[in-house]
Structure 1
Amino acid sequence: MSTLYSLPSPFDLETGTVLLHEPAWARAGELRAQLLDESYGKPFVIDDGKARYLYFSVRLMQSEMSLKAPHDLALKYTQKMLAGLLFLPRPKNLLLIGLGGGSLVKFCHRRLPGTRIVAVELDADVIAFRDTFMVPPDDERLSIVHGDGAEYLAQAEKGIDLLLVDAFDKTGFAPALANREFFASAYGKLAGNGVLVINLAGDAESYAGLIATAMEVFDDQVIVTSVPEDGNHILYAFKARPFDPRWRWLHGFAKELRSRFGLDFPTFAEEMERSMKQGIARHKAQRGY
């Protein structure tokens, strides 16, 4: 792991050690003040001895990694993002926009040995924490790319099986992705049975209208489920025509996936079926969220 600048956490609730990419001569007092008044301009990590957390500000925790199980998915929303595997259990090409602490990259790299994974991250300071979160080095199956996710997607080859979007800045969902152009690009680059999955978090205003746009581009083939534990919602958009899931079969298949991945796929399937039948995505789209 690269050398990091460390200082005791100045926060009342987030205790432990703060890890920063700063030179050894940086002044602890100045850094402490910047962290407290949220003027510190880069992501930082808090290590409490049991887990490491990636923050953009103390109000927006982006990633969590258990030090005892660094390859597990500690946050419920990351687990639910992989519910797309119910419909596409062996993706060949996976594109992730937003690296964060690398939880999804590590899990997929270990659990999906036949999958080629590219993760695109806009913030070089996030990538700089790669070793801190034990993200494996690039190899023939994994590439971490520093760049704009929307621009990368626009230039990517067609045939993406699973497109995962977990991209945030200090204000919440990355605004560059909350537009029709991005969804149209995603639709065009997905394989025939490809799935787009987006983590919706932060202030609802930052992604107002996004669900309606997804419904328009993907011809209403959208499911939205909540993640009460994390205060998030997950959006799934399906390119396959027609999208008519065999739910009874999927509930049985979910048990197989639970054994394979150790995630609660049976509950994911139940929530997705209920959301689809109740028209939750359309309801939220009509409300502008």
Structure 2
Amino acid sequence: MAPLYHLPSPFANETGTILLHEPLTARAGELRAQLLDESYPKPFVVDDGQSRFLYFNVRLMQSEMSLRAPNELAIRYTQKMMAFLLFQPRPKRIVLIGLGGGSLLKFCYHRLPGAQLTAIELDPHVIAFRDTFLLPPDGPRLQVLQADGAEYLAQTDKGIDALLVDAFDKTGFAPGLANREFFANAFAKLSSNGVLVINLAGEQESYAGLIGEAMQAFDDQVIVISVPDDGNHVLYAFKERYFEPRWRWLHNYAKELRARFGLDLPAFVQKMERSAKLGLARREALRGR
């Protein structure tokens, strides 16, 4: 791995050091100008001495890692994505589409030792930062592949227990994943009680149609919750036939899992129950019509 190019941050709101995959002979002035006018073509990292952040441009922070706790989930929406554990607490096979800084991958790797993990990332420049974000190397339990997430899903074997999708580019949610074919493949490749989890960010109108496609593919067995801290929503779609959550039991189980995983699962299940009873997913889907 070539050494990273270090550049003092030119951003008023992001102090620290910019880490770039550039030759050490690159001109700092040119790189600074590209970062400021958002013409820099690759992802970059901001290191402020306490955390590292992955950006495509300074307006779109993709990932955060605390240097003190590099394997924990620093951003609220990633914690909420892990709420699939309420329904699938011992997954054997997890597929992640969109690597980012690898927060979800590391959390699953360290907290779920019985799971096989495959991460799919289209952008090789994102994968090139895996050492910067302290990802474990590929091995018997872990594989990071440079590939198109939709194409991988179409070709892979059935039996995925949890499919976590957090895939964005400079313009927003990866367009190749926001269609009916992707959701049909997701449904087909999940195990009988598998769960699809998607991070939805950006303008709500931009992904309302995606929620509708998920509801059609998963026979309306979809829950959507908001993440006010981050301005995101998280979508959960359930393959289980006649999915009927036992909410009272789940509230108690969430306390047990909170102790095990260090996540605020009691608050998450409360939000999921409220959303399910209010029909938030259907309401959001109607925005796309």
Same fold (TM over 0.5): yes
SS at structure 2 position matched to 1:209 = helix
1:2/1:109 Cα in 2 relative to 1: closer, same or farther (>3 Å)? Answer: farther
Contact 1:2–1:132 under 8 Å retained in 2: no
The one-letter amino acid paired with 1:122 is L
Shift of 1:288: 1.5
Which structure 2 residues correspond to residues 68-217 of structure 1 after superposition, within 5 A?
68-217=68-217
The one-letter amino acid paired with 1:268 is F
CA distance in structure 1 between the partners assigned to 2:200 and 2:146 by the alignment: 22
- Listed as ranges, the gaps of 5+ residues in structure 2 are none
TM-score (norm 1): 0.98
- Listed as ranges, the gaps of 5+ residues in structure 1 are none
CA distance in structure 2 between the partners assigned to 1:244 and 1:280 by the alignment: 16
SS at structure 1 position matched to 2:199 = strand
- 2:63 aligns with 63
Shift of 1:139: 1.1
CA distance in structure 2 between the partners assigned to 1:266 and 1:189 by the alignment: 29
1:241/1:151 Cα in 2 relative to 1: closer, same or farther (>3 Å)? Answer: same
For each residue in 1:131-176, what CA deviation from the matched residue of structure 2 results, as whole angstroms up to 9, or x when unmatched?
A: 0000000111000001101000100100000000000000111111
Residue 278 in structure 1 maps to residue 284 in structure 2? no
CA distance in structure 2 between the partners assigned to 1:2 and 1:153 by the alignment: 32
SS at structure 2 position matched to 1:38 = coil
CA distance in structure 2 between the partners assigned to 1:129 and 1:204 by the alignment: 30
Shift of 1:205: 4.4
Contact 2:208–2:287 under 8 Å retained in 1: no
- 1:228 aligns with 228
Which structure 2 residues correspond to residues 15-30 of structure 1 after superposition, within 5 A?
15-30=15-30
Q: Aligned pair count?
A: 289
TM-score (norm 2): 0.98
Contact 2:208–2:286 under 8 Å retained in 1: no
For each residue in 1:22-68, what CA deviation from the matched residue of structure 2 results, as whole angstroms up to 9, or x when unmatched?
A: 00110000000000000000000000000000001101000000000
Contact 1:2–1:131 under 8 Å retained in 2: no
The one-letter amino acid paired with 1:65 is M
CA distance in structure 2 between the partners assigned to 1:225 and 1:260 by the alignment: 23
CA distance in structure 2 between the partners assigned to 1:174 and 1:57 by the alignment: 16
CA distance in structure 2 between the partners assigned to 1:195 and 1:177 by the alignment: 16
The one-letter amino acid paired with 1:249 is W
CA distance in structure 2 between the partners assigned to 1:113 and 1:127 by the alignment: 22
Shift of 1:287: 1.7
- 2:267 aligns with 267
Q: How high is the sequence identity, in percent, across the aligned residues? A: 72
Tell which deviates more after alignment, 104-113 or 198-207. Answer: 198-207
CA distance in structure 1 between the partners assigned to 2:116 and 2:20 by the alignment: 31
The one-letter amino acid paired with 2:6 is S
Contact 1:172–1:203 under 8 Å retained in 2: no
CA distance in structure 2 between the partners assigned to 1:203 and 1:231 by the alignment: 9
For each residue in 1:250-287, what CA deviation from the matched residue of structure 2 results, as whole angstroms up to 9, or x when unmatched?
A: 10000010000000000110000000000000011112
